[in-house]
Structure 1
Amino acid sequence: MSQQQTFTALVTGGNRGIGLETCRQLAGAGLDVVLAARDPARGRAAAQKLRGSGSRIRFEELDITSSKSVQDCAGRLADAGVDIDVLVNNAGVYPTDAFFSLDEDTMSHAIDINLMGAFRTCQAFVPAMGRRGYGRVVNLSSGLGALTDNIPSPAAYGITKAALNALTLVVSSAASPSVKVNAVCPGWVRTDMGGAGAPTSVQKGADTVTWLATLPDSGPTGGFFRNRRRIDW
C-alpha cells in the first residue's frame, strides 16, 4: 500500500464476527472502512461502536442476495465520491445438513449467499479497481471446500465454498494485474457461526484476511491462504 494514499475497504457482513473484526483491523491499519450489512440497525450500531475508537467507518446497507441492493450500494458510494479499493467478501452461511437431508431451498440459499453474493460484488466493484490501477479482493472461504484432501462438507457449505474458490481463480484471471484476488480459510473461529468451542480467536481468524487485503504490489494473486501461508485447494 502507498504511504501517501488512504484506501477504502468494503466488508460484507461487517456487523459481527470475523467481518466486524476485519473492519476493526483494517481501520487500525489506516484504511477507511465501509461496514456493509443487511440489517441497518445492527450495521449502524456496529459502525458507531468502531467509530468510538476514532476509526473512519461508514455504514452501508447491503443485501448481497439482491443484485439491486448491490448496485444501489455501489451507486450511493459513487455519488458520495467513495472509491472501493479493497473488497472483503465475508458474508456467508453455514448449513450443516447431510446431503440426502438437504432440501433445495437450503441449497439455493447457500449458493445465493456463499457464491452469488461474491459474484455480484466482484462484478460491481472490481472493474473500477482495475481502471484506477489498484485493488484487493479477499473471499472468505474454508478448508471444508478444498478438493485436495477431503470431500467438501457439510454438503451445501462445502460445495459453495469450493465454488467460491473457483470464482476466486476466475476473477483473479479476469481482473487487471493491479488487482490481487485471493481466498482465505480463517480456520474454526469463535463466532456465532463457529461456536464458543472453536479453537481460534476472532482476532487470529481475521489476521490473514487483513494481510491479504493490504498486500503490496508484489503480493500473490489467485491463491488460497491460511495463517498467511498458501494452502491447497
Structure 2
Amino acid sequence: MTASTSSTATVQSTSTSRTGKVVLITGASSGIGEATARLLAAAGHRVFLGARRADRLAAVVKEIRAGGGTADHRELDVTCLESVRDFVRAAQESYGRVDVLVNNAGVMPLAMLEALKVDEWNRMIDVNIRGVLHGIAAVLPVMREQGAGHIVNVASVAGHRVDPTAAVYCATKFAVRAISEGLRQESRDLRVTVVSPGFTRTELTGGIGDLGMRAVAEDMMGIAIPATAIGEAIVYAVSQPAEVDVNEIVVRPTAQG
C-alpha cells in the first residue's frame, strides 16, 4: 500500500484527475479527513470535502487546486440528515456522480461514566453513529442507481476493545463496525470498508472537556502516527479493482499495546 504524503506528492494532471473516482469525505477540515483528501487528490481522484469549518475547507481546497488536484467543498453537519443529503447533491452537481463516501467525522470526549456527562454521550452518538447512518442514507440510493459505489467508515481500535473513560466512545465505534458489516452482507454491488486507526495525531483530544483527562490522552499520543498513515490505508482500499472489497484495515503505531 503506497501513496505520497502531502509534502512530497506529485499531483497528476487535471486531465488525469477527471478520470479518477469522485470521493466525498466528511470531517475533512483537519486530521485524517484532510490528509485523506490530499492523498486522494494526489492520486488523481476528485474530492469533495465536508465539515463544519467552511473556512478551513476552503483553504484545503485552494491548496489542492494549487497543486493541480480537483477539489470542492460544502459546509456540513453530519448530525443533520438534510445537511448530508445537500452535501451529496452538491457533489453530484459538481462531478456528476458519487463513487466513494468516506464517513470520517467523529468526536471523542473521554470521561468516566460516573461523571454522567450525558450531553457528551449524546454528542458522540449523534456524530459517530448517526453521522455514519446519515452518510449511508444519503449515498445509498445514488450508488444503487449507479450500480456501484464504495463506503469507507472510519472506526477506531476502540471498536475492538473497551477502556476506562472511553466506554461510550468505544460503544459508538463498535456500532460503526456492526453497521458496516451489516451493509457489507446486504450488498453485492457496493464495496464496504472499515478503517480502524490506533493512536493518530489529530484534533480529537482537543474535544476532551476534562483538562486532566485531556492531558493524559495527549501524553499517550507521544507514540501517535501521522494522519497520512490512515489516509494511505484509505487510498489503498479505494484504489483496488471493482471486484476486490477490502473489508477491514487496522492501522496502529508499532509501539501501541
Specify if TM > 0.5.
yes
Q: Secondary structure at the match of 2:197?
A: coil
Identity %: 30
TM-score normalised by length of structure 1: 0.86
Q: Is residue 174 from structure 1 mapped to residue 186 from structure 2 by the alignment?
A: yes
Q: Secondary structure at the match of 1:63?
A: coil
CA distance in structure 1 between the aligned counterparts of 2:84 and 2:22, rounded to whole angstroms: 17
8 Å CA contact 2:50–2:76 kept in 1: the answer is yes
Which ranges in structure 2 are unaligned for 5 or more consecutive residues? 1-16, 206-217, 253-257
8 Å CA contact 2:24–2:91 kept in 1: the answer is no
For the aligned residue pairs, the C-alpha RMSD in angstroms reads 2.2
1:197 equivalent among 204, 222, 226: 222
Which structure 2 residues correspond to residues 134-145 of structure 1 after superposition, within 5 A?
134-145=148-159
CA distance in structure 1 between the aligned counterparts of 2:223 and 2:27, rounded to whole angstroms: 20
Which entry has the higher C-alpha Rg, 1 or 2? 2
CA distance in structure 2 between the aligned counterparts of 1:161 and 1:227, rounded to whole angstroms: 15
Which letter maps to 2:229? K
2:196 equivalent among 165, 185, 207: 185
State the partner residue of 1:225: 249
Shift of 1:81: 5.2
Which letter maps to 2:198? G
8 Å CA contact 2:22–2:95 kept in 1: the answer is no
CA 1:101/1:41 → structure 2, altered by over 3 Å: closer, same or farther?
A: same
Shift of 1:79: 3.9
8 Å CA contact 2:106–2:127 kept in 1: the answer is yes
State the partner residue of 2:213: none
State the partner residue of 2:112: 98
Shift of 1:88: 0.3
Shift of 1:16: 0.7
TM-score normalised by length of structure 2: 0.79
Provide, for residues 200-226 of structure 1, a one-character-per-residue CA deviation record: whole Å limited to 9, x for no partner: 1222122112212222223235x3212
Tell me the matched-pair count: 221
CA 1:31/1:112 → structure 2, altered by over 3 Å: closer, same or farther?
A: same
Provide, for residues 71-102 of structure 1, a one-character-per-residue CA deviation record: whole Å limited to 9, x for no partner: 22223333445311100011100111112224
Which structure 2 residues correspond to residues 82-121 of structure 1 after superposition, within 5 A?
82-121=96-135
CA distance in structure 2 between the aligned counterparts of 1:157 and 1:126, rounded to whole angstroms: 26
1:210 equivalent among 235, 238, 241: 235
CA distance in structure 1 between the aligned counterparts of 2:194 and 2:116, rounded to whole angstroms: 26
Which ranges in structure 1 are unaligned for 5 or more consecutive residues? 229-233
